[in-house]
Structure 1
Amino acid sequence: HGSPEGKVSVDAGDEVTAFRWGDVLAKGKAEDGPVRIEVVGHHGTEWVHVRVEDKDTGKPVGCRVHFRSKQGNYLAPHGHQQDVNVAWFEDMGGDCKTNGVPYAYIDGTCQIELPRGANYVEVARGFEYDPVRELVEIKAGQRHLTVKAKRAFDMKAKGYYSGDTHVHFLSSQSSHLEAAGEDLNVVNLLASKWGRLFTSWEEFTGGLAPTSSDDHLVWVSQENRQHVLGHISLLGLSELVAPMCTGGPQEDWVGGEVQTLMADWAEACKAQGGLVIMPHMPVPDFENAANIVMGHADAAE
């Protein structure tokens, strides 16, 4: 964009070289002594409706997608973050970064503005699908793009179910979106407390979240935490177990005292028919080691 009569100035050390923008656009590049510039941006874009299908069933499947231009720019689907902030409690739900690479979670469809020409697309869906990595050519006037993902194996057919016992900060809806995107059968969204900040407390229903589907179940429970005695995840609760965190910062508020023991929380969970998980292994902190020996824990993570 900009007037063809405008100037592009390049500071090359002791000298400033100026090029007429119209000349650069017309030739695609310009050169003056040691300074050379070239237009590498795309020439036009298309608004594309993307559909990711299971290769065998033809049905759309939730997944994690990454689009990139041939210049290496990440292209986020409409409604997703272009720059994904991975800081604590930032940009939660719908986007993530893995090894520094940004991805968008979609339900199998999305809309995106893609440059004409070659674009790189990557699709991932948990451990049971082959990852898709390919170049796609976007043509002038193209409005649709279909990508097919192939299931490599089906552990559920063999009696195994996938899940995540430790999720924070998401809403129950974004939990379902990401569960579908990673092909997880069960996600446990854990309410907790961080000083005076409570998270996901309002998502608790005492049963399956209403956003659950047949293949992707979401249950909101809680992680109770003490900075010395340890952390404990209480799954499958019908009633929240309070107090949620005690014993001072960083889990509890400044000046907070120890009001209960990990064993008390574990017993309250089991009285509801829930499961007790000892997280952050192999660091059981202080009391959790005793709770494992005493049989309060059903599992560790």
Structure 2
Amino acid sequence: MRDCLWIVLFSIIWPLLLTPAAAAKGNRHPRKLEASQCEAASKAAGSWHSKPEGMPCIQGATITVTVLDSSTGEELPARCSVIDTWGYSRRPLTAALYHTAEGGYFYTSGTFDLFIPVGTTLIRIGRGPEYEPIIDSVQVLGDTTLVYSLNGVADMSDLNWYSGDCHVHINHSGGTYTLEPEDAHLLGRAEDINVVNCLDQDYYFTGAPDSSSSTECIVYMSEEYRSGTYGHMGLLGLKQLWFPQWSHWWPMNLHVAEAIHMQAGGLVIPAHPVTTDDFSQIDQWPGTGLALELPVDVARGEVDAFEVMSYSNYLSGGIELEMWYRLLNCGFKLPACAGTDAGVNRAHDRPLGAFRTYVHIPDGEFNFENWAAQLAKGKTFVTNGPLITRFDLKGLMPGDSLSLPEASWRILGWLSVQSAHPIDKAEIITNGEVLHTFIPGGDQRSISTPFALHIDSSMWVAARVTGVDTSWHLVGDTLFAHTSPVYFRIGEARIVKQEDAEFFVEWIEDLESLAEEEGEWPDSSAASRAFNELAWAREYYASLAGIATHVEHHRPAAFTHELLLKQNTPNPFSLGTTIEFSLPFSDASAKLPSSMSQAEVTQTSLAIYDVRGKVVRTLFRGELPPGMHKLYWDGNDNRGKQVASGVYFCRLQSGDHTSSRKMILVR
């Protein structure tokens, strides 16, 4: 009896709450089936969901649904949800990738057929933040054709913004489906994502965009490197995979990142950087996902972006701002990015692209190389809904920098936001603090306003948009968007907040203590290298904070103003040797490196020569920022073959400067 009452209430209330948004055609008489025929008919029509126990099979009908772009009339791939009159989620059996999360959803390439019980049916359709999602309540009395047109909010590609998900898995452990890159392409098109970065190790890896890619959606198969101690890293745009693909205490993430950056276009993005607040939980998830080594790697210049939004960030809505703001407040240029960490082969997972990174490509065509390069430059904003269509400060956009003489400056800016959902406010953030707050008017879905900054000290400036998530189509409990910063440097002053630098001193001290108590190393040399890296980073942040510290090892010349090539260690060597060098800073008066700008990198090469002057091995050739760097030579030549015992020379060239060291190899 209660089931019957529920059905009656459901069929009455939904039509009152929801307004139909589709054209309906061909309402034929419903078919009444016996219980033995109901399942067969459902499967024949391409849909099935078990009916509630004890409920007789009642009249059913087939709905045919087509999704169109209202501006072009073309069919659109989309994410869909259908709730029948019993309150159960329905999906076509032919639809790829049905998911139970978010109330149940599936994907269509544009049209689908579904056999359902007659009665009030809830249909929901969405396609990323650039379209208004549809919620429609339909009284299905017989076979029905429905055509839905999605209205655009903004065409971001017209403004040279292209979206991407930096962290997706198509074949994660515990999967319901076994997927291929073509499936990722369908999902990317249905979510209106331009770049899908699948971090699935060696599944379908080619070292280039997958052949399933199109001009609208690029699928790039790459890798997530997992350290059980130091945290996970998304390795985007790889030309070669890194092996092994997981570790515990050795190697450090820093050493992996250094190797990845030797690949042209390779990006390193710490994945879900804050999965827990338990610092010492390194034996199981979520502790194994916490980016313990992050402040070390950022100080070394080996991190390309910060994953502000991730399903696996443990804080409210998967949004991590505290750690990011602290690093920005230590003077680092650290772009914002978003990666869902969606395991789209698992039926219980949420969709890819619900957290996304928009990248601005002002000149040149949209392709993966340009997209990745602009991401690394900080030309980004992240969002789960609001679209920041304009954020500029005197012509400067996210990722840009401006150096000004010491004085008080007034800078004019403009902020514009469009959203398919009501937003509460937009804010201008400077060095982590709210400077301006703007409240939208009217339907609360747009803001366009000028603002002014008064700058008398170095600062970073960004825009942030927030609201309450009330839509079925969004993921997270907060409507959110955030730009990467614009950076202002006044005189020679670096952006530094003492309390944030002190925070990382304590963080690294805790990591050192953890390493002393639980660290496992292949040999004493590895242990020494690891502790030296941690000690260097601790001293670096202590110097930023103005704290006097004592480090029981020789301090690397991290802030030298001359080219320095140190003697390789060990020397003589038999298996391999480490070569450490420092590139100079252009500003001879600076005691510490500023956040690196593109202008400060120099063309650098490090090569090994034999006694005849022949190049045996080129260890690095490309651009590097100022500061300390380390490379490892395994005693092999450029073809991967072992070289003979003898005397070799290491030659470092950076810009117009050169330096050499003699090395002895003993087999």
Q: Which residue does the alignment assign to 1:261?
A: 252
Give me the whole-angstrom Cα distance separating, in 2, the residues matched to 1:134 and 1:174.
27
TM-score between the two structures when normalised by the length of structure 1: 0.71
AA partner of residue 48 (structure 1):
I
Q: Which residue does the alignment assign to 1:288?
A: 294
Report the secondary structure of 1:203's partner residue.
Answer: coil
Give me the whole-angstrom Cα distance separating, in 2, the residues matched to 1:286 and 1:202.
28
TM-score between the two structures when normalised by the length of structure 2: 0.33
| 1:237 is the counterpart of 2:228 | no
Give me the whole-angstrom Cα distance separating, in 1, the residues matched to 2:56 and 2:125.
24
Q: Which residue does the alignment assign to 2:94?
A: 79
| 1:185 is the counterpart of 2:177 | no
Q: 2:270 aligns with which of 266, 278, 288?
A: 278
Structure 1 unpaired stretches of 5+ = 1-38, 81-92, 193-200, 248-257
Report the secondary structure of 1:271's partner residue.
Answer: coil
Give me the whole-angstrom Cα distance separating, in 2, the residues matched to 1:205 and 1:58.
36
Q: Which residue does the alignment assign to 1:95?
A: 98
Give me the whole-angstrom Cα distance separating, in 2, the residues matched to 1:298 and 1:150.
35
Give 1:154 shift.
1.3
List aligned pairs for 1:1-301, cutoff 5 A.
43-80=58-95, 94-99=97-102, 101-142=103-144, 144-170=145-171, 171-192=180-201, 201-247=202-248, 258-273=249-264, 274-282=266-274, 285-301=291-307
Give me the whole-angstrom Cα distance separating, in 1, the residues matched to 2:250 and 2:85.
57
Give 1:282 shift.
3.8
CA contact (8 A) 1:78 1:110 kept: no
Give me the whole-angstrom Cα distance separating, in 2, the residues matched to 1:97 and 1:270.
39
CA contact (8 A) 1:179 1:185 kept: yes
**Change in CA separation of 1:109 and 1:236 when aligned onto 2, cut-off 3 Å:** same
Report the secondary structure of 2:104's partner residue.
Answer: strand
RMSD: 2.3
AA partner of residue 281 (structure 1):
P
Give 1:70 shift.
2.5
Q: Which residue does the alignment assign to 1:31?
A: none
CA contact (8 A) 1:176 1:217 kept: yes
Q: Deviations over 1:29-69 (max 9, x none)?
A: xxxxxxxxxx9877432333321111111111111101112
Give 1:190 shift.
0.2
**Change in CA separation of 1:109 and 1:42 when aligned onto 2, cut-off 3 Å:** same
Give 1:185 shift.
0.7
**Change in CA separation of 1:289 and 1:48 when aligned onto 2, cut-off 3 Å:** same
CA contact (8 A) 2:164 2:196 kept: yes
Report the secondary structure of 2:258's partner residue.
Answer: helix
Give 1:267 shift.
1.9
Give 1:102 shift.
0.4
AA partner of residue 272 (structure 1):
Q
AA partner of residue 231 (structure 2):
G
Structure 2 unpaired stretches of 5+ = 1-53, 172-179, 276-289, 308-667
**Change in CA separation of 1:41 and 1:52 when aligned onto 2, cut-off 3 Å:** farther
Q: Deviations over 1:235-267 (max 9, x none)?
A: 0011111111012xxxxxxxxxx4422122212
Give me the whole-angstrom Cα distance separating, in 2, the residues matched to 1:43 and 1:97.
25
Give me the whole-angstrom Cα distance separating, in 1, the residues matched to 2:206 and 2:183.
16
Report the secondary structure of 2:152's partner residue.
Answer: coil
CA contact (8 A) 1:42 1:116 kept: no
CA contact (8 A) 1:224 1:245 kept: yes
Give 1:153 shift.
1.1
**Change in CA separation of 1:212 and 1:203 when aligned onto 2, cut-off 3 Å:** same
Give me the whole-angstrom Cα distance separating, in 1, the residues matched to 2:143 and 2:200.
47
Q: Which residue does the alignment assign to 2:468?
A: none
**Change in CA separation of 1:50 and 1:166 when aligned onto 2, cut-off 3 Å:** same
Q: Deviations over 1:200-250 (max 9, x none)?
A: x22211111121111111101101011111211110011111111012xxx
Report the secondary structure of 1:162's partner residue.
Answer: strand
**Change in CA separation of 1:41 and 1:185 when aligned onto 2, cut-off 3 Å:** farther
Report the secondary structure of 1:96's partner residue.
Answer: coil
More strand by share: 1
More helix by share: 2
Give 1:79 shift.
2.7
CA contact (8 A) 2:62 2:142 kept: no
Give 1:98 shift.
4.3
**Change in CA separation of 1:152 and 1:237 when aligned onto 2, cut-off 3 Å:** same
Q: Which residue does the alignment assign to 1:17?
A: none
**Change in CA separation of 1:41 and 1:104 when aligned onto 2, cut-off 3 Å:** farther
Runs of at least 4 residues off by over 6 Å? 39-42
Give me the whole-angstrom Cα distance separating, in 1, the residues matched to 2:295 and 2:226.
15
Give me the whole-angstrom Cα distance separating, in 2, the residues matched to 1:58 and 1:139.
27
Give me the whole-angstrom Cα distance separating, in 1, the residues matched to 2:139 and 2:215.
36
**Change in CA separation of 1:78 and 1:147 when aligned onto 2, cut-off 3 Å:** farther
